Chain A
Amino acid sequence: MEIVHVYTRLRGELGRQCVLSDRRAEPLIDVPPQPDLSTHFIRRPSREQGLQAARDTTEHQVNTERFESDSKGMDHSEGGWPKDINPQEAEQTIRYRKKVEKDEGYVTSILQLGSVMEHCIRQNHALDIYEEYFDEEEEEEDQEPPSAKTINVFRYDIIINLALSFHPDGGRKLVAAYSFLGFQRRLGDPSLDSYIWDMEKPNCPDVTLKPPSPLLCIHYNPKDPHTLLGGTASGQIAYWDTRRGSRPVELSSLDQSHRDPAHNVLWTQSKGGTDAFSASTDGQVLWWDIRRLSCPVDRLVLDMSREENLDRALGAVSLEFESTMPTKFLVGTEQGVVVSCNRKAKSNAEKMVCTYEGHHGPVQAVTRNPFFTKNFLTVGDWSARIWSEDVRESSIIWTRNQSSYLMDACWSPVRPSVFFCVKTDGVLDVWDVLFKHNEPTLSVKVSDWPLYSVCVQEASGVIAVGSQHGDVSLMELSDKLKNQQKNEKTLLSAMFERETKRERLLEARLKEVRLKERSRSQQSPEEELRGERGEEEPLELLDRAERDFNQLTEHHVIA
């Protein structure tokens, strides 16, 4: 609503001077207060206002001066020359030098320096103060105790690691076979695989090998580093080529292979590196040609009665083959007997040459000493024994019975008197035959799980140890254990000779005693009969048994 005042004028009157006059004030609009409108409003007693009790600050951006840095090389070929002299010019440099030489200070300095220098030169002539006084004496060997340090652990799956083998060329790679020892596999168990590990990469295996059934043992071909041979739990032998993928290139046929798991497989000597042999607890040792794994080349039944009766055969658990003696090999059996066999014998019966009895349980490992091939080491039950081939009655050196079962052993490739064995309490024992016999030189607890396999790498003194939990630990040995000590070979051969002689003497004595008894019994059979009846009283038998037992244990403790 606009408040408008309209007035009209005649056109002629526009622009005429305004005539103003007083007039009384008259209210134009009068709007009285309306109290009832106040109900629309509320009185607000308080008022809110935000306040900040902080220092007043201002924000200001600053850029510092840039520090320019530059990488430059400097060539100090000739430096220090004053600016006006060109170092390339011989004349100028010679002139400068001559000028310096004429300087007063130069002369005095040089004369003084010269005398000091001559003094020292003469000193050098008079006495060589840096000479080695005790050159001939070799440094005292480190008195630090031998030690082994874990450098890496390869862990992939929780299955028992049964066999390890290092890559023949320098051993950057390690192949490990995993499987179960129990009768039936637990349902739902994941993998049958075995792995090749690269020592630098502990997190995941380099190559996975997929056999049809878990592998119990695996070896690289010493002649061809790409090929591997493994024995499976189904008794078959599988042959891999790492260049051709993870499935076995060839697998021996099921009906021709072993009937029990193939516990050990080894490469043998042959021109093309294609021969191998395998052993299993079904009592057979089979020879194979890699190129044709469908049928074994040869077969040997470990029947002691030479009848080739499989039922009576000894189950083989470990094999030993030394490439310097290609026709002989050793088989360790479940029954605790080591059988030495000759491959080239004419008939199967003659193949088994002799046996060595000594262990109470399966012979888990048989290895020859790389330096003294006539002596070999066996481990089984709770002790490790060293044998000499000539002495058949008993081992020449043996360890005291340990607190837990020994599962695997191997000689050190560098030091002839050192061997390593692993036990079911997770300990790796390092024995030095020259140092002491009654206990290992070094015991290292590698893992909380029983250890099942051990393998030494020749070049760098690294040992790989495999456990029940699937961990493969790489241990590095201290220098003392890696380097051959002086006279070690001669001392060790002397020791072996001595022990062999002792055993032979004992053998001879035993034979004598037996012979005497036999001759006595032949002379007086009646006395013998009476004697036998007399002896059959149980109390006396018990006494005799007790006495024998005590004697045996004493003998062992002393030894």
Chain B
Amino acid sequence: MAQLADVEETLKRIEAHKGVIGTVVVNAEGIPIRTSLDNSSAVQYAGLLQDLTMRARSSVRDMDPQNDLTFLRIRSKKHEIMVSPENNFLLIVIQNPCE
């Protein structure tokens, strides 16, 4: 299907960006659907970040019910973790933004 090919292409493009260490696509149940990392890391990222995203989203909505979480960025010493939430899915990208 053309759409599946689109999806593939998008994900490949993201992975090919400079500095991107890995990507994980997580579904609503916390199962990593597609990942470029090894399974154990993917599962770990999926579990931990889904929880955090839920928390972040509920915090944002608690402050203002009209508001919603659009993006979550966690900057750490070694790299940056970017989480893009949706209703059912979660896209996690780990990037090393060194210039």
- Nearest chain B CB to A103's CB is how many angstroms away? 9
- Contact bitstring A106-130, B, C-beta under 8 A = 1, else 0: 1101111111111011101100101
Number of residues on chain A facing chain B (CB within 8 A): 33
In Å, the complex CA distance between A125 and B96 comes to 10
Residues A112 and B86 in contact, CB atoms below 8 Å apart: yes
Residues A110 and B30 in contact, CB atoms below 8 Å apart: no
- Nearest chain A CB to B56's CB is how many angstroms away? 15
Which of B11, B20, B30, B88 is close to A114, meaning CB atoms less than 8 Å apart?
B11
Q: Is A8 in the interface zone, CB < 8 Å from B? A: no
Q: Is A78 in the interface zone, CB < 8 Å from B? A: yes
Given A78-B43, A97-B34, A111 and B6 contact (CB-CB distance below 8 Å)? yes
Which of A76, A114, A121 is close to B10, meaning CB atoms less than 8 Å apart?
A114
Cβ of B70: which chain A residues have Cβ within 8 Å of it? 116
Chain B residue nearest in CB terms to A102: B4
In Å, the complex CA distance between A115 and B13 comes to 10
Residues B71 and A118 in contact, CB atoms below 8 Å apart: no
Cβ of A81: which chain B residues have Cβ within 8 Å of it? 29, 31
Which of A76, A107, A112, A124 is close to B47, meaning CB atoms less than 8 Å apart?
A76
In Å, the complex CA distance between A130 and B98 comes to 10
- Nearest chain A CB to B68's CB is how many angstroms away? 13
Residues B19 and A124 in contact, CB atoms below 8 Å apart: yes
Residues B43 and A118 in contact, CB atoms below 8 Å apart: no
Residues B14 and A114 in contact, CB atoms below 8 Å apart: yes
Q: Is B66 in the interface zone, CB < 8 Å from A? A: no
Residues B19 and A120 in contact, CB atoms below 8 Å apart: no
Residues A106 and B17 in contact, CB atoms below 8 Å apart: no
Residues B84 and A121 in contact, CB atoms below 8 Å apart: no
Identify which of residues 6-43 in chain B touch chain A, using a CB-to-CB cut-off of 8 Å: 6-7, 10-11, 13-14, 17-20, 25, 27, 29-31, 33-34, 40, 43
Q: Is A77 in the interface zone, CB < 8 Å from B? A: yes
Q: Is B55 in the interface zone, CB < 8 Å from A? A: no
Q: Is A105 in the interface zone, CB < 8 Å from B? A: yes
Chain B residue nearest in CB terms to A81: B31
- Contact bitstring B57-90, A, C-beta under 8 A = 1, else 0: 0000000000000110101000010101011110
Cβ of A510: which chain B residues have Cβ within 8 Å of it? none
Cβ of A130: which chain B residues have Cβ within 8 Å of it? 75, 97
In Å, the complex CA distance between A118 and B43 comes to 23
Identify which of residues 52-104 in chain A touch chain B, using a CB-to-CB cut-off of 8 Å: 76-82, 96-97, 100-102
For chain B, what secondary structure do more than half of its interface residues adopt (helix, strand, loop), or is it mixed?
mixed
In Å, the complex CA distance between A130 and B79 comes to 11
Residues A120 and B31 in contact, CB atoms below 8 Å apart: no
Which of A78, A80, A109, A115 is close to B88, meaning CB atoms less than 8 Å apart?
A109
Cβ of A109: which chain B residues have Cβ within 8 Å of it? 86-89
In Å, the complex CA distance between A130 and B33 comes to 31
Residues A113 and B89 in contact, CB atoms below 8 Å apart: yes
Cβ of B18: which chain A residues have Cβ within 8 Å of it? 125
Q: Is B49 in the interface zone, CB < 8 Å from A? A: no
Residues A101 and B34 in contact, CB atoms below 8 Å apart: yes
Residues A111 and B10 in contact, CB atoms below 8 Å apart: yes
Residues B43 and A101 in contact, CB atoms below 8 Å apart: no
- Nearest chain B CB to A365's CB is how many angstroms away? 49
In Å, the complex CA distance between A101 and B33 comes to 8
Cβ of A115: which chain B residues have Cβ within 8 Å of it? 10
Residues A80 and B7 in contact, CB atoms below 8 Å apart: no
Chain A residue nearest in CB terms to B18: A125
In Å, the complex CA distance between A116 and B43 comes to 23
- Contact bitstring A538-554, B, C-beta under 8 A = 1, else 0: 00000000000000000
Residues B84 and A117 in contact, CB atoms below 8 Å apart: yes
Residues B99 and A107 in contact, CB atoms below 8 Å apart: no
In Å, the complex CA distance between A121 and B96 comes to 10
Given A101-B34, A120-B71, A113 and B84 contact (CB-CB distance below 8 Å)? yes
Cβ of A116: which chain B residues have Cβ within 8 Å of it? 70-71, 84
Cβ of A110: which chain B residues have Cβ within 8 Å of it? 7, 10-11, 25, 89, 91
In Å, the complex CA distance between A121 and B80 comes to 10
Residues A125 and B7 in contact, CB atoms below 8 Å apart: no
Cβ of B11: which chain A residues have Cβ within 8 Å of it? 110, 114
In Å, the complex CA distance between A178 and B90 comes to 72
- Nearest chain A CB to B17's CB is how many angstroms away? 5
- Nearest chain B CB to A99's CB is how many angstroms away? 10
Identify which of residues 121-143 in chain A touch chain B, using a CB-to-CB cut-off of 8 Å: 121-122, 124-125, 128, 130-131
Cβ of B13: which chain A residues have Cβ within 8 Å of it? 114, 118
Cβ of A100: which chain B residues have Cβ within 8 Å of it? 27, 31, 33
Residues A77 and B43 in contact, CB atoms below 8 Å apart: yes
Known: A107-B6, A114-B14, A125-B97. 15 other contacts (CB 8 A): A97-B33, A100-B33, A101-B34, A102-B4, A105-B88, A107-B4, A110-B91, A112-B86, A113-B91, A117-B91, A121-B19, A121-B82, A124-B19, A124-B97, A130-B75
User: Can you list the 3 inter-chain pairs with the closest CB atoms, starting with the nearest?
Assistant: A114-B10, A80-B30, A80-B29
Question: Which B residues are within 8 Å of any A CB, using their own CB?
Answer: 3-4, 6-7, 10-11, 13-14, 17-20, 25, 27, 29-31, 33-34, 40, 43, 47, 70-71, 73, 75, 80, 82, 84, 86-89, 91, 93, 95, 97, 99
Question: Which A residues are within 8 Å of any B CB, using their own CB?
Answer: 76-82, 96-97, 100-102, 105-107, 109-118, 120-122, 124-125, 128, 130-131
The 15 listed contacts between A and B (C-beta, < 8 Å) are A80-B31, A100-B31, A101-B7, A106-B7, A109-B87, A109-B89, A110-B89, A111-B7, A114-B10, A115-B10, A116-B71, A121-B17, A121-B20, A125-B18, A125-B19
